[in-house]
């Protein structure tokens, strides 16, 4: 016999502060009922499937959720058959028969069913009819605006990493491997590592130069990262390369995580390599000053441990 279950449901893209509040509420309700909470999400986002739009990949999302303390994550196949279910069918077939849910926790803006025809109030109504408890968690806010994955994506598109990270509750990040480059930085006395993102579905920040941190071999290094083309060298293809302030060596083929902290400036075309180097030195000094004023950044957030 399948044990009755309590859990929250949603897309959870980014697992931002609003999601984290939803998870904490779920944990509290489950603890009172002496049950282990579960989290129900979807293999593909129910509202968007565009390349380069996701705040977290499926694996990253599960990893963060586990770090928060939810052991069981159920990923429903979407779009699939679920996309064509009415709200009543979703509750009956998925929540009751498949998952044996007795209590469901959702955010205020939760929508479900074919063409998003049901909302949190719909779920509450169906829950009363089917004897399922439904708790609706109010939206979390930041600077008087709702914390949402949409608003976080907008902040990232604008290069406002302080705002996006404040809503996420941790620094936005990308993962990948370090690949060989043209070694141009080495000849300028500023050796850089070229970063190849692992997943094309994951969002990249707005083009520019950023204060960042690089996670390598479980160690966190302050860094400055260029994202975009290199117009000074007539290179139009966008790329990501980073200079580590306190570490050097051969990093090829190593896995990395880059944490985006603050955008310094636009990508610029300089008249000479000398002008570029002078600007990079200024960028490096601003980065050093930033980390000197933010010593707490030397520790990786618990929510991102063991990425």
Instruction: Return the pLDDT at 49.
Output: 59
Domain shared by 10 and 136, yes or no: yes
Q: Is the same domain home to 138 and 175?
A: no
- Span 201-226, average pLDDT: 94
pLDDT level of residue 190 (50, 70, 90 thresholds): confident
Whether residue 262 contacts residue 283, with contact meaning beta carbons closer than 8 Å, is answered with no
Whole-angstrom Cα distance, residue 302 to residue 249?
27
Same domain, 278 and 189: yes
Range from 64-68, 93-97, 178-182 carrying the lowest mean pLDDT: 178-182
pTM: 0.93
Average pLDDT over residues 98-104: 96
For residue range 234-258, list pLDDT tens digits in order: 888 888 999 999 876 677 778 999 9
CATH of the domain at 16: 3.40.50.620
| Residues 298 and 220 sit within 8 Å (Cβ to Cβ) | yes
**Strand ranges of the sheet holding 101-107, from the earlier edge strand across to the other edge:** 72-76, 38-42, 5-9, 101-107, 133-137
| Domain end call among 131, 146, 161 | 146
Question: Using CA atoms, how far apart are residues 42 and 11, in angstroms rounded to an integer?
Answer: 6
Strands 101-107 and 5-9: parallel
Percent helix, strand, coil in the chain, to 5, is 35, 30, 35
Identify whether the C-beta of residue 221 lies closer than 8 Å to the C-beta of residue 256. Answer: no
* Placement of tokens 């609003």 in the chain: 18
Predicted pLDDT at 197 = 87
The answer on pLDDT for 138 being more than 60 is yes
Q: 181 pLDDT band (50/70/90 cuts)?
A: confident
**Is a pLDDT exceeding 70 seen at residue 1?**
no
Same domain, 139 and 201: no
| Distance, CA of 192 to CA of 223 (rounded, Å) | 10
- Residue 173 confidence (pLDDT): 97
- 27 lies in the same domain as 96: yes
pLDDT at 111 over 60: yes
Statement: residue 148 has pLDDT above 60: yes
Distance between CA 22 and CA 5 in Å, rounded? 16
Q: Is the pLDDT of residue 85 over 70?
A: yes
**pLDDT of 152 above 80:** yes
Same domain for 175 and 280, yes or no, is yes
Nearest CA to 108 among 46, 22, 13, 14? 22
Quick one: 184 and 251 in the same domain?
yes
**Are residues 191 and 297 located together in one domain of the fold?**
yes
- Answer yes or no: do 112 and 200 share one domain: no
In the numeric block, the tokens 């996006």 are attached to: 164
**Predicted confidence (pLDDT) at residue 189 exceeds the cutoff of 90:** no
Is it the case that residue 31 has pLDDT exceeding 80?
A: yes
Q: What CATH number is attached to the domain comprising 295?
A: 2.40.30.30
- Tens of pLDDT, residues 34-61: 999 999 998 876 665 566 789 999 899 9
Residue with tokens 């990262």: 225
- Same domain, yes or no: 78 and 199: no
Domain span including residue 298? 170-304
Helices (H), the chain: 17-32, 58-68, 87-89, 120-130, 149-157, 161-168, 184-187, 273-293
What share of the chain in percent tops pLDDT 70?
96
Domain annotation covers residue 154: no
Alpha-carbon distance of 250 to 253, in angstroms, equals 9
Average pLDDT of the chain is 91
Contacts of 5 (CB under 8 A, 6+ apart): 35, 38, 99, 100, 101, 102
pLDDT at position 303: 94
Q: Which residues have C-beta within 8 Å of that of residue 40, sequence separation ≥ 6? A: 7, 8, 9, 10, 74, 76, 99
Bridge-based pairing of strands 111-112 and 118-119 is antiparallel
Considering its fold, how many domains does the chain have in total? 2
């Amino acid at each position: 016999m399948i044990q009755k279950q309590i859990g929250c449901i949603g897309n959870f893209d980014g697992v931002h502060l609003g999601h984290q509040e939803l998870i904490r509420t779920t944990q509290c309700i489950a603890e009172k009922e002496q049950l282990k909470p579960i989290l129900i999400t979807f293999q593909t986002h129910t509202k968007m499937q565009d390349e380069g739009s996701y705040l977290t990949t499926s694996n990253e999302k599960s990893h963060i959720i586990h770090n928060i303390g939810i052991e069981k994550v159920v990923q429903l196949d979407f779009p699939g058959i679920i996309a064509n279910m009415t709200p009543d069918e979703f509750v009956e077939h998925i929540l009751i028969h498949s998952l044996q849910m007795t209590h469901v926790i959702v955010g205020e803006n939760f929508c479900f069913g074919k063409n998003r025809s049901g909302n949190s109030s719909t779920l509450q109504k169906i829950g009363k009819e089917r004897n399922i408890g439904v708790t609706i968690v109010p939206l979390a806010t930041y600077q008087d605006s709702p914390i949402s994955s949409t608003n976080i994506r907008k902040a990232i598109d604008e290069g406002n990493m302080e705002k996006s990270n404040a809503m996420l509750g941790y620094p936005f990040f990308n993962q990948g491997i370090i690949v060989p480059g043209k070694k141009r930085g080495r000849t300028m006395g500023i050796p850089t590592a070229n970063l190849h993102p692992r997943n094309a579905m994951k969002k990249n920040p707005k083009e520019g130069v950023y204060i960042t941190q690089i996670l390598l071999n479980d160690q966190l290094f302050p860094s400055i990262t260029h994202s975009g083309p290199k117009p000074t060298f007539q290179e139009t293809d966008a790329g990501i390369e980073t200079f580590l302030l306190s570490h050097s060596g051969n990093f090829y083929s190593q896995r990395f995580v880059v944490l985006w902290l603050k955008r310094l400036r636009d990508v610029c075309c300089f008249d000479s390599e000398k002008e570029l180097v002078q600007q990079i030195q200024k960028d490096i000094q601003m980065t050093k000053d930033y980390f000197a004023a933010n010593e707490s950044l030397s520790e990786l957030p618990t929510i991102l441990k063991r990425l």
